[in-house]
Amino acid sequence: MALLIARHGETALNVARVVQPADTVLSARGELQAAALGERLAREYRVRSIVSSDLPRALQTAERVARCLGVPVTESSEWRERNFGHLRGRAYETLGFDPVAMREAPEGGESLAQFEARVARACEEIGRAHV
């Protein structure tokens, strides 16, 4: 088994360099990127299933890819991006620091260690499901 990991397509807030709120959706360009990813995966791999974060931008990407591949999408909150809490919705340039480099939890968010533990659980779950 191989595990392929893809990031969601572009959002308007990616372009604006804003820490994204959970409910951010794909831009028109992001939809095109998702379609292109699906077409490439269909040509180059035999994908049997897709597991996606349940956040809208990730789920939109996964569903578009799944249409190209004819496979199901399973949603999992374990695959959400790191929760940056009260930093969500703020422009990176207004923060004065790089939130991605933070090890500690921002107010209302999760620390890097919490995020890494969650992703490790998600990987283990996939491994158990595909043995």
What residues are labeled active site? Answer: 8, 81
Would you call 23 exposed, middle or buried from its count of C-beta atoms within 10 A (0-12, 13-18, 19+)? exposed
- The CA distance from 53 to 2, in Å, is 19
- The CA distance from 27 to 127, in Å, is 32
SS3 state of residue 123: helix
SS3 state of residue 18: strand
